A and B are shown apart, each in its own frame.
Chain A
Amino acid sequence: MMDCKKYKKGLAAFLYGELKGDERELFKAHLDACPQCMGELERLKEVKKGANSLQEDIENAMTSVDWDALPMQIVENIFKKEAHPARESWLEKLSRLIFQPRLRPVYAGLLVGIILGSIVTFMVVRTPQPVMVEAGEFFAPRDFLENVDLEIARRDTLDYLEKSQYLLLDFVQSPSEEAAEFWRSEFASQKARDLLSQKKYINSQLNKFQMAKAKAICDQIELLFYELTQISVELSAEEIRKIQRLIEEKNLLLKIKLLKRELKRSEV
């Protein structure tokens, strides 16, 4: 069965004499033994017979041509065409003009230019440009600005602590009978109010830079000043004395001093 399939594929080659020698003999032997393949070959012979039936037409056509005159005719036609080449249309003329070989280096140059230009444009667009600053304007990087802010906060806090220290020192050192009067004086109450407003200003800075330690002490000072300016009028001398002692006991002045030192060293 497998053999038949193989042989059937070769039947056309066998029919047209393409098989030679042993291959042909093998084929013949198979055909003698296999009526199916022989039947197929007979059917294919009908194709050959059909093709042969056109032979007469071909022969008639061949005899109808004057083969001696034809070469001359062909040659004449060719040379006539060469002598009078077909007229070019304006489109052909234009394309011949544009695509003439002489212009090839120009086009090559243009192409290289376009490619290089595109690459350079691409590189320029990709590289981040420094922000152009107009004359008179100040520009600084973000890190630098943050450091400046921190330094300002540090100095403001230091200033607040120093002023508070002096005021509290004056209060603590004043005798108890004058201490009540101390906060009633215009000088001290004005200073305390100034410090309270200054504290409001530095609050945001303390929060921003997370100076927790400084903030805790500054808050204590603020509360103290607030209390003293608001209620000192109603306090007795003994109570004032008690506050003075409390400031001493809590070492508030010492804490302020230490904090000031730390801030001066920028260790906050």
Chain B
Amino acid sequence: MEQERTSKNEDVYTLVEKIKKGDREAFMTVTHLYQKRVFLLAFSFFHNREDALDIVQETFLRLYQKVNLYRKGKNFQNWLLQIAKNLCVDYYRKHYGKRSELRKENPVDDMNLPLQNEPDPHTFSDLKGIFTPCLKKLAERQRMVFVMKHYNQLHYNEIAQILDISLGTVKSLHFKAVQNLRGLMAPYMGRQV
């Protein structure tokens, strides 16, 4: 089955055109090709397997519904990851964002998300235990840029396209994210074994 799908090796645009016509097989092929990338983005953002699977499900449902909006010439992966990113943000606000900082009137880039139900870094002595809550403390967009850069290994220009922001803003957000993470991690680094 795996071989059958990859052997098709069809151009993604051709597949999208087929999906537009209601081709279920083409849709399955596209899902197979991009599911891991969507999962990786969602998992690294939420650090939760079930949430990430929900995002994958929703992303491909949205793809099926909005496929007619896709125009040839656009980078398909970036377009799909843009859908996934929007869903991640909505999902986060719906399920995690009861804190006042996530209200729209606050600029998301200026805030640091306090963790209420997350483990306190003091209780961890390993790097992972320190880093995980620090990452979740980052402002929403900084976290998204960091995750896309580090785990999805996307280039700045691809991130700019997905987030629909300028290249300069991506650079700045990435720099701030790394700086803030360093600042957040610094007090606990002495305890590391």
A contact residues, total (Cβ < 8 Å): 36
Contact B150 A48 (CB under 8 A): yes
Complex alpha-carbon distance, A67 and B36, angstroms: 8
In the complex, whether A84 has a CB less than 8 A from a CB of chain B is: no
Out of B27, B52, B127, B155, name the residue touching A53 (CB < 8 Å).
Answer: B127
Complex alpha-carbon distance, A236 and B190, angstroms: 142
What's the minimum C-beta distance from A53 to chain B, rounded to whole angstroms? Answer: 4
* Known contacts A13-B156, A50-B131, A77-B57: A62-B40 contact under CB 8 Å: yes
Contact A51 B135 (CB under 8 A): yes
Contact B131 A72 (CB under 8 A): no
In the complex, whether A87 has a CB less than 8 A from a CB of chain B is: no
In the complex, whether B134 has a CB less than 8 A from a CB of chain A is: yes
Contact A58 B185 (CB under 8 A): no
Binds A, one of B8-16, B42-50, B70-78, B110-118: B42-50
- Chain B residues closer than 8 Å to A124, beta-carbon distance: none
In the complex, whether A132 has a CB less than 8 A from a CB of chain B is: no
B contact residues, total (Cβ < 8 Å): 47
Contact B31 A58 (CB under 8 A): no
Of residues 9 to 62 in B, which have CB atoms within 8 Å of A's CB atoms? 24, 27-28, 31-32, 35-36, 39-40, 43-44, 47, 49, 52-53, 56-57, 60-61
* Known contacts A53-B126, A53-B131, A70-B31: A47-B36 contact under CB 8 Å: no
Out of A11, A16, A61, A71, name the residue touching B35 (CB < 8 Å).
Answer: A71
In the complex, whether B84 has a CB less than 8 A from a CB of chain A is: no
Complex alpha-carbon distance, A237 and B49, angstroms: 141
Complex alpha-carbon distance, A108 and B177, angstroms: 50
Out of B31, B61, B156, name the residue touching A71 (CB < 8 Å).
Answer: B31
Of listed A43, A44, A54, A75, residue having the most chain B CB within 10 A? A54
Of residues 28 to 46 in A, which have CB atoms within 8 Å of B's CB atoms? 43-44, 46
In the complex, whether A68 has a CB less than 8 A from a CB of chain B is: yes
* Known contacts A50-B181, A72-B28: A64-B151 contact under CB 8 Å: no
In the complex, whether A265 has a CB less than 8 A from a CB of chain B is: no
* Known contacts A18-B155, A74-B56: A54-B181 contact under CB 8 Å: no
Complex alpha-carbon distance, A4 and B54, angstroms: 45
Complex alpha-carbon distance, A64 and B48, angstroms: 12
- Chain A residues closer than 8 Å to B35, beta-carbon distance: 67, 70-71, 74
- Chain B residues closer than 8 Å to A78, beta-carbon distance: 60-61, 64
- Chain B residues closer than 8 Å to A81, beta-carbon distance: 61
In the complex, whether B182 has a CB less than 8 A from a CB of chain A is: yes
In the complex, whether A15 has a CB less than 8 A from a CB of chain B is: yes
Contact B151 A58 (CB under 8 A): yes
Contact B178 A61 (CB under 8 A): no
Complex alpha-carbon distance, A53 and B186, angstroms: 16
Having A47-B185, A53-B127, A75-B31, one finds 8 other A-B pairs with CB under 8 Å, namely: A12-B174, A13-B156, A43-B186, A51-B135, A54-B132, A56-B128, A58-B151, A70-B56
Query: Could you name 26 residue pairs across A and B whose Cβ atoms are closer than 8 Å?
Result: A9-B175, A11-B175, A13-B171, A13-B174, A18-B171, A46-B189, A47-B131, A47-B185, A48-B150, A50-B130, A50-B134, A51-B131, A51-B146, A53-B131, A54-B47, A54-B128, A57-B128, A58-B151, A61-B52, A65-B39, A67-B35, A70-B56, A71-B31, A74-B35, A74-B57, A78-B60
Interchain residue pairs A-B with the least CB separation, the first 6: A50-B131, A71-B31, A53-B128, A12-B178, A53-B127, A12-B175
